[in-house]
Structure 1
Amino acid sequence: MAQDKYATMGAAIFADVGGPSNVAKLIHCMTRVRMTIIDEGKVKMAALKKIPGVLGVVQEDTLQVILGPGVVNKVAQAMVDSVGVGLGEPFPTGGHAANKSAVEAVAAETHAAQKAKLKQTWWRAALKHISSIFIPLIPAFVGAGLISGIAGILGNMLTAGMIGKDMTEFITVLKVINGGLFTYLNIYVGINAAREFGGTPGLGGIIGGLVLLPGLAAPIPINNIFTGQPLAAGQGGIIGVLFSVWIMSMVEKKLHTWIPDSLDIIIVPFTTLLVMGVFTIFLVMPLAGLVSSSLVGGINWVLNIGGAFSGFVLGLFFLPMVMFGLHQILTPIHLEMIKELGSTPLLPILAMAGAGQVGAAIALWVRAHKNKQLTRMIKGALPVGILGVGEPLIYGVTLPLGRPFITACIGGGIGGAVIGAIGNIGAITIGPSGMALIPLIAHNQWLGYVFGLLAAYAGGFVATYFFGVPKSAMVAKNEDGTLVGAGAGDVAVADDADAPVTAGTTQFVAPVQGQLESLSAVQDDVFSTKMMGDGFAVEPAMGTIVAPVSGTIVSVMDTKHAWTMKSDTGLEIIVHLGLDTVELKGAPFDLSIRNGDHVQFGQQVGLMDLDAIKAAGKGTTVMTIITNMAAVANITPVTPQGIEAGAPTITVTTK
């Protein structure tokens, strides 16, 4: 019966993303089901968020449904089982199994189209590759790390005479199990990297394995061509493997185009391994070894010299890094530090960011206890947040409210400062965070880590309690978001909506991805003549809609084609989706905002079906207009250009 629950949840998720036929590929990480969506216009974001058990939804290059640890793997497995594919494999098209090469071709075409829509930069693509390579290994890191932690505790007890020597063999077995991951980690990474880069996984595994210099017998070494010193097994580590397999995949694909089909199976793998083996041993291993050792040494130097200050900065800025996906680059660095030092001193510091979220959530619970809608979300997200799973708190609680996210980051910085000040606190594996990381702290330094957690909890609580609770969060609401004592037709409008205009600057961002234009270019006299006010327009290339500024939603039209809001500085704003789209009666629009909601600039607030709007003969232009221009002292001119959703557009100075 338990499996039926997960299958039911998976079926509900499929229903709200447009069905299995709208999914190109599905994988999961520690907390999220990650789906590559073919047509984002078919995704019902609002309905998806209301599925029982769904803690939040994030839409980036993949659609990420947050379910929490323990549940996510069961739901993801039930979903792929219902389709008849494996995790990470391309979904069949047309609802039936197809030839594998044809399916892969369709998936590759779809993936390329999605990347073209997103206009990915090289670094964003690189971070996505790193994420895809290491996410499947996270359960292995957690399992092997816990086994290593148990082995360490038993080893200490054996040395202290607390247990008998008859446990020695069992401790050795635990170390062997742990070594099954970390001894051959290069091979696993090589296989995943080749699969991610489009090469043959087996060849990638061989490239990862040869970094270990198998078959090398003393006293005959292989010398570093730059220094003349013998190469060491594992030199260059994970960084070297990632680079070599990336090059290998390009070489292999090029050879496939050059070699006749009749000789391909013989010539391509032989030539690829020979060329890349020599390249890896004589060039990549020496250079990557220098890079990785310098990187590890440099980070250690920063932590040792900077102490509390370095810890504060790292803890403060880690969550913004997570939001932009930049944290993925830290994974190979963590692994290199574990290989060279036996533990990573970075992870305990970065884990403080999640602890700051916990403190902020508790402060919100205390200050905004009359808001039953908010406290219900906190109750659901807080337990997993304490265990180190921060996404529900981030995306469901602090980030939508704005200020609590910032004060939570300050709490993370305070916890990081404590860890940095104590020093020598490292984790023997990656994956867990929060309290779940305690058994994985190296050298019995777990008490110092606990002090850091408590400091981050306290810092996040105090900063949020006094400075981070917006008025909108304290409005008394029922669990469905309506005002306490209000009738069914009433709406909950927060006090922020009545805030006066304050002097200062307000940064606006693009509400959609597309071509930024001035209002005068809009094909509608009301907008182009700035009859209602000044602002900017975007001709959208994608249907994802974000808030153009931080502020409070005042009213959302029943037809969903427009809403009004008031910025935190008091600017009155209209966001209008398309031209004459009121006639479409809301059909192409799916907004997740309600009257009284407080939004942060760049926060996703809905979707619009561009094809449906065009099919109806309507314009798709999105206008953002400031209506109380009397309060504006200066507005920067619009520079027509291609722009991403959430990217800066104009800056407005109020009087």
Structure 2
Amino acid sequence: MADKYQNIGDGIYDHVGGPENVSKLIHCMTRVRMTIRDDSEVDIEGLKKVPGVLGVAQEDTLQVIVGPGVVNKVAQAMVDEVGVDLGEPFPDSAKKGTSYASGKSAVEAKAAEVHAAQKAKLKQTWWRAALKHISSIFIPLIPAFVGAGLISGIAGILANMQTAGDLGASWTTFITVLKVINGGLFTYLNIYVGINAAKEFKATPGLGGIIAGLIYLPGVIAPVTIPNIFTGSPLVAGSGGIIGVLFAVWVMSYVERLFHKYIPDSIDIIFVPFLTLLIVGCFTIFLVMPTAGWVSNSLVGSINWVLNVGGAFSGFMLGLFFLPMVMLGLHQILTPIHLEMIKSMGNTPLLPILAMAGAGQVGAAIALWIRCRKNKQLTGMIKGALPVGILGVGEPLIYGVSLPLGRPFITACVGGGIGGAVIGAIGGIGATSIGPSGMALIPLIDNGKWLGYVFGLLAAYAGGFLATYFFGVPKTAMLAHDANGNLIDDAIATESKEERATTADVDQIMTAAPIPGANTGLVAPVAGSLVQITEVKDDAFSQKMLGDGFAIEPTMEAIAAPADGTIISLTNTKHAFTLKTGTGLELLVHLGLDTVELGGVPFSFDIQPGQQVISGQQIGTMDLQQIKDAGKDTTVITVITNMDAVANVTEYYNGPVDVGAPVLQVRNK
């Protein structure tokens, strides 16, 4: 028989178009948050009438307010029905009662949480949008790069063996076939990129492919030439390459949309492609190819100069700072540069150096595994992430292990720098294709210099290990944790024996009845400006769906307990906590609006469920600037969630307030 939480979840599903209309579900302290596929299938009014639903809010996600203590159980019941974990994508065929094995490890969940928080902190600028476009254009081609690159590597090895006399002439045809297969990608790469770019820029893919193909100058056969309008010399086929393709197709998307806007529908199919190809084609041949060709040659020449002159120092700096570039999204711009280097030189010497950043993460993770043996949650994450990290997939180690701990991320970057210095010092190590890193890049190393690449990997492993082992292990990470991340070490510095003695049975406290007629004083949990709760920019709070209370726009980062009582819960994302007073009031303190999306990054707390606190006692901090930089509201809301036990609440007035200053008096029934 279904329990009440499952009944609430089923009621929600019934009014949002079913699980098949949900792409993802998470929850915060008070509300179930769903990413909806088709908003037209959502019945808002019916949703508000579901028993247990306190209200509905619509922003970038559909938010169904059910209250603290209930929301986590309802959300869990809802994802259990589909068979996924909280925050995981729903299958397209999701139905109630259908089970799907998630198969996700704890490290992947942690990595996704930290990665999402990291992305949330980044301001959306025009150049980040451009990098996102570049990423979307090239990611679908990565399997092709890997496959063709490996085939090119095998062809090169066999050709060298044939030259050395180890293979006979009978291998010539097979080697030629391998080169043809590899050429199927790299010979016509511009066209593939042009088609993908047109899709990304919302233009016609076929037109994008044609514009990209013009860079090969098809039909121009000696002695016929097209002059470079800047130099007067004959234009060289392929000038501009990938960089030229991206720019030309981007311009084409605007030209095509302009013609679609003004040309009548009856003749649109004839004149839009004709005029687009004519205008953008001439623009590409006479302006884009010469200009982008100069840019491409300058980039390749500059990078080679830096590597040749800088050697080990250049390699160290590139390996050291590559991961911070990844966090800022700047690494996407390197993809067309890699491809230009492969086109002009046959390999990219940048990729082996940058691959050292991931190797530094592997070394750091091994050091953490050894130093933090008691931390079962952390070592479990490392076990799950190390194999793929060694093969070149670094995100689980970065976002699931080193970045959340802070210092290990820095020491891992140092390891990457050391590996990069070794690659730079050896010199001449390049990859024939882009795609993997780590051990998986070895087959793609050109000119038989794979052993030098392996030396670089080992140096990065050792550098990341030693830097982390001696300088990068936080003391808290070495304390004993169970598999769920709960501290179990008797030596926890923040919890003395006296404090542990006051830790109470949370369930027993929650079931205790409010004291009739009791009075409770509530104080400001933060310093700032008091505002009426009805002015909060969130319907759940302003309409008092969760209960009455007060709001503060904070000016300082310290967070205090709003009353004497016991901490009942603290969300995993640390953006909210609940407290029950000795008089029986149940309080919710919510730090900012939509801050659940920040993954806990701006918040730090020194409390745990069951701990007793006193009114005005500092229990944590919040980084106001980080919250603002992420585009979130910093307003702190304190709400009485069991209003059925309250007889009256005094009024308060807008204005400045210090942390710990009295705000409300509440009398029980």
TM-score, normalised via structure 2 length: 0.65
Provide the C-alpha distance between the structure 2 equivalents of 1:369 and 1:223, rounded to a whole number of angstroms.
68
Is 1:583 matched with 2:583? no
Structure 1 residues 547, 61: closer, same or farther in 2, change over 3 A?
closer
**Counterpart residue number, 2:14:** none
SS in 1 for 2:86: helix
Cα deviation digits, residues 538-576 of structure 1 (max 9, x gap): 964775235465856534699xxx9943799xxxxxx98
Deviation of 1:443 after TM superposition, in Å, equals 0.8
Aligned counterpart in structure 1 of residue 466 of structure 2, from 462, 466, 474: 462
Partner amino acid for 2:373? H
Q: 1:52 aligns with which of 103, 107, 122?
A: 103
What residue is the counterpart of 2:403 in the other structure? 399
CA distance in 2, matches of 1:61, 1:370: 23
Q: Which residue number corresponds to residue 413 of structure 1? A: 417
Whether contact under 8 Å (2:532, 2:551) holds in the other structure is no
Shift, 1:143, TM fit: 0.5
TM superposition shift of 1:333: 0.4
Partner SS, residue 520 of structure 1: strand
Per-residue deviation, residues 203-237 of structure 1 (Å, max 9, x unmatched): 00001111001111110101100101111111000
| 1:61 CA drift (Å) | 14
**Greater relative CO (CA pairs within 8 A, separation 6+):** 2
Counterpart of 2:190 in structure 1 is 186
Shift of 1:529: 9.4
Does residue 545 (structure 1) correspond to residue 603 (structure 2)? The answer is no
Matched to 1:53, the amino acid is K
Measure, in 2, the Cα distance between the counterparts of 1:299 and 1:121: 26
Counterpart secondary structure, 2:607: strand
Q: Is the 8 A contact 1:385 1:434 kept in 2?
A: yes
* 1:309 corresponds to: 313
Matches for 1:497-646 after TM superposition, within 5 Å: 519-520=528-529, 522-523=531-532, 527=552, 540=593, 544-547=597-600, 549=602, 554-555=607-608, 564-565=619-620, 578-581=636-639, 583=641
SS at match of 2:87: helix
- Counterpart residue number, 2:252: 248
Preserved CA contact (<8 Å) 2:114 2:404: no
What does residue 377 of structure 1 align with?
381
Cα distance change of structure 1 residues 208 and 556 upon mapping to structure 2, 3 Å threshold? farther
When residues 461 and 624 of structure 1 are mapped into structure 2, their CA distance, relative to the original with a 3 A threshold, is: farther
Closer, same or farther in 2 for the Cα pair 1:217/1:40, shift >3 Å?
Answer: farther
Number of aligned residue pairs: give it. 487
1:216 aligns with 220
> Which residue matches 1:358?
362
Q: CA deviation at 1:275?
A: 0.2
1:116-146 CA distances to partner (integer Å, 9 max, x unpaired)? x996211011010001000100000001001
Give, in angstroms, the shift of residue 22 of structure 1: 3.4
Deviation at 1:165, TM superposition (A): 1.5
**Equivalent in the alignment of 1:514:** none
What per-residue deviation string (whole Å, max 9, x for no partner) do you get for residues 250-278 of structure 1? 00001000100001000000000000000
Are the aligned partners of 1:224 and 1:231 in contact in 2 as well (CA < 8 Å)? yes
Tell me the CA shift for residue 480 of structure 1.
Answer: 2.2
Partner of 1:120: 124
- In structure 2, distance between residues paired with 1:361 and 1:624: 46
Q: Deviations over 1:4-57 (max 9, x none)?
A: xxxxxx999956467884389xxxxxxxxxxxx962758989723794325425
- Structure 1 pair 272–61 and aligned structure 2 pair: CA distance change class (3 A): farther
TM-score, length of structure 1 as denominator length: 0.67
Aligned residue for 2:454? Answer: 450
Partner of 1:103: none
Matched AA of 1:478: D
The Cα of 1:347 is off from its aligned counterpart by: 0.3
- CA change 1:582–1:406 in 2 (3 A) is farther
CA distance in 2, matches of 1:14, 1:366: 39
What is the rounded CA distance, in whole Å, between the counterparts of 2:355 and 2:474 in structure 1? 26
**Any stretches of 5+ residues in structure 2 without a counterpart?**
1-18, 27-32, 40-58, 65-74, 89-100, 497-525, 534-549, 561-589, 612-616, 624-632, 644-655, 661-669
User: Is the 8 Å Cα contact of residues 497 and 552 (structure 1) preserved in structure 2?
Assistant: no
Q: 1:565 to 1:518 in 2, by over 3 A?
A: closer
Alignment root-mean-square deviation, CA: 4.1
Question: Does the 8 Å contact 2:215/2:239 carry over to 1?
Answer: yes
Q: Is the 8 A contact 1:207 1:244 kept in 2?
A: yes
Match of 1:272 in 2: 276
Is the 2:316–2:419 contact (alpha carbons within 8 Å) kept by the matching residues of 1? yes
Secondary structure of the corresponding residue to residue 216 of structure 2: coil
The match for 1:288 is: 292
Paired with 1:331 and 1:40, the residues of 2 have a C-alpha distance of: 36
Q: Match for residue 22 of structure 1?
A: 37
In structure 2, relative to structure 1, the CA distance for the partners of 1:542 and 1:468 (3 Å cut) is closer
Gaps of 5+ in 1: 1-9, 25-36, 65-113, 487-492, 499-516, 569-574, 586-622, 628-655
User: Structure 1's 526 and 120: CA in aligned 2 closer, same or farther, altered over 3 A?
Assistant: closer
| Alpha-carbon distance change, 430 to 496 in structure 1, aligned in 2, over 3 angstroms | farther
Q: Over residues 519-549 of structure 1, what are the superposed CA-to-partner deviations in whole Å (9 max), with x where a residue is unaligned? A: 23655788569899699x9964775235465
Are the counterparts in 1 of residues 116 and 599 from structure 2 also a CA contact under 8 Å? no
Aligned match of 2:61 = 39
- 2:566 counterpart residue number: none
Does 2:230 align with 1:226?
A: yes
Give the corresponding residue for 1:78.
Answer: none
* C-alpha contact 1:311 1:416 (8 A) present in aligned 2: yes
